[in-house]
C-alpha cells in the first residue's frame, strides 16, 4: 500500500516537475537578445556651440522640410551583422542564412516599439549632429520647442560629414562679452533693417587681429549709406579697442579666420 502511495507520489512529483519545468520551454520563443549598442563618448563642449542664428534657423527649417518629405520608415533600423561575431569565418551559405534570420526577426512589428531606440552608428551620428544640437539651443524659444519635437525622430539624410567646428558656448560667450564692452553703438542711427555689418577677421594665435575686412565694403562709399558707414566704423573701432580678442587657447586652425556680425537692430529698435 505504502509502496503504491510512494510510487504514485513519485510519479505525481515527476509530472508536476515536468509540467513546471518543461512546458514553458516548449511555449517560449527563443530569447532574442537585442544587438549591443556601442556607445560613443562625445565632448559636449565641442558640440554645443551655437552657430550663427539665421543659419540655425535654416537648419531647423531644412530638418522640418526633410521630415515632411521623407517617408518615415516604421521598420526597425538596419541590420547589425557585426554584432553576431562568429569565432570562425562562416561559409557563404551560413552567412546568408543568418542575415535572413535577423531580417525576419526585425519584421516583427511588436518589437519595433521596443527596438526603436536601437539605431545604427550612422543614425546615431545624425542624432548627435552638432548643428542639430546647436539648433536646439538656439536663442529662439519657439523654434527650440518645435525643433526638439522633430529631432526626436531618426533622420537619415543629414550631412554625415559634419565635423566638430566653431567655438564652444563658453568660448563664444567670452568673446561676445569682450566685444560688447568695446562696442559703442552710435545711438543716433535710425532703426533700419539693413544695419548689419559683417567683418571677416584673420587672427594670430594670441587673438591679435592681423587683417579685418568689411564684407560689404562696397556699401561704405555708396551715396545714401552714411549710416552703414558709421556703423561699420564703430564696429572696426570696437575690434581695435578689444584686441587681442579673447580666443580659445587651443584649436587655432579652427578660429584663425573668424567672422563677426555686428547687428545693432535689436539695440536701436527699443
Partner 1 sequence: MKFLRILTILLLIQFKAYALIEVDITRGNLSPLPVAVSPLSPDKKSITEFEKILNVKDLGSEISIIVENNLRQSGLFNPLEKDAFLQKPDIAHFKPRFEDWKLIKAQALITGKVEIIDEKLRVEFRLWDVLAAKEMLAIAFTTVPTNWRRVGHIITDKVYERLTGEKGYFDTRLIYVAEEGPKTKRIKKLAIMDQDGFNLKYLTLGNELVLTPRFNPTNQMVTYLSYFRNLPRVYLLDIETGVQEVVGDFPGMTFAPRFSPDGKKIIMSFATDGNSDIYTMDLENRVVERITNYPSIDTSPSYSPDGKYICFNSDRSGYQQIYVMKSDGSSVKRISFGNGIYGTPVWSPRGDLIAFTKLHKGKFYIGVMRIDGKGERLLTENFYQEAPSWSPNGRVLVFYRETKTDDKGEGFSAKLWSIDLTCYNERQVPTKSDASDPSWSSLLSN
Q: Which residues bind partner 1 (CB under 8 A)?
A: 51-53, 55, 163, 165-167, 172, 175-176, 179-190, 200, 226-231, 233-238, 240-241, 253-255, 257-267
Q: What is the SS3 assignment for 212?
A: strand
Helix crossing, 141-150 with 53-69: angle to 10°? Answer: 30
CA-derived radius of gyration, the chain = 31
Q: Which residues contact 216 (CB under 8 A, 6 or more apart)?
A: 197, 198, 228
Closest CB to partner 1 among residues 17, 241: 241
Question: How far apart, in Å, are the Cα atoms of 168 and each of 36, 43, 49?
Answer: 32, 10, 4
Closest distance of CB 151 from partner 1, Å: 21
Q: Cell for 57?
A: 534657423
Closest distance of CB 82 from partner 1, Å: 26
Closest distance of CB 119 from partner 1, Å: 26
Closest distance of CB 122 from partner 1, Å: 21
Q: Are 231 and 262 contacting, i.e. CB atoms less than 8 angstroms apart?
A: yes
Closest CB to partner 1 among residues 122, 191: 191
Closest CB to partner 1 among residues 117, 240: 240
Amino acid at each position: 500500500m505504502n509502496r503504491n502511495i510512494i510510487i504514485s507520489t513519485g510519479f505525481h512529483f515527476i509530472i508536476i516537475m515536468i509540467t513546471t519545468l518543461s512546458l514553458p520551454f516548449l511555449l517560449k520563443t527563443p530569447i532574442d537578445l537585442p544587438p549591443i549598442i556601442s556607445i560613443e563618448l562625445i565632448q559636449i563642449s565641442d558640440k554645443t556651440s551655437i552657430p550663427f542664428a539665421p543659419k540655425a534657423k535654416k537648419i531647423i527649417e531644412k530638418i522640418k522640410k526633410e521630415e515632411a518629405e521623407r517617408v518615415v520608415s516604421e521598420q526597425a533600423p538596419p541590420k547589425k551583422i557585426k554584432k553576431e561575431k562568429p569565432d570562425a569565418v562562416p561559409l557563404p551559405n551560413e552567412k546568408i542564412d543568418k542575415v535572413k534570420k535577423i531580417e525576419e526577426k526585425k519584421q516583427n512589428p511588436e518589437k519595433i516599439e521596443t527596438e526603436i531606440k536601437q539605431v545604427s552608428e550612422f543614425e546615431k551620428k545624425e542624432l548627435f549632429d552638432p548643428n542639430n544640437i546647436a539648433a536646439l539651443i538656439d536663442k529662439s524659444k519657439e523654434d527650440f520647442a518645435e525643433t526638439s519635437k522633430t529631432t526626436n525622430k531618426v533622420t537619415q539624410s543629414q550631412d554625415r560629414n559634419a565635423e566638430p567646428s566653431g567655438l564652444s558656448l563658453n568660448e563664444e560667450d567670452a568673446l561676445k562679452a569682450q566685444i560688447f564692452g568695446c562696442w559703442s553703438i552710435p545711438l543716433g542711427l535710425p532703426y533700419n533693417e539693413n544695419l548689419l555689418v559683417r567683418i571677416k577677421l584673420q587672427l594670430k594665435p594670441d587673438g591679435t587681429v592681423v587683417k579685418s575686412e568689411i564684407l560689404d565694403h562696397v556699401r561704405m562709399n555708396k551715396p545714401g549709406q552714411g549710416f552703414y558707414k558709421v556703423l561699420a566704423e564703430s564696429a572696426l573701432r570696437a575690434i581695435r579697442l578689444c584686441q587681442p580678442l579673447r580666443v580659445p587657447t587651443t584649436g587655432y586652425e579652427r578660429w584663425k579666420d573668424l567672422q563677426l556680425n555686428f547687428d545693432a537692430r535689436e539695440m536701436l529698435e527699443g
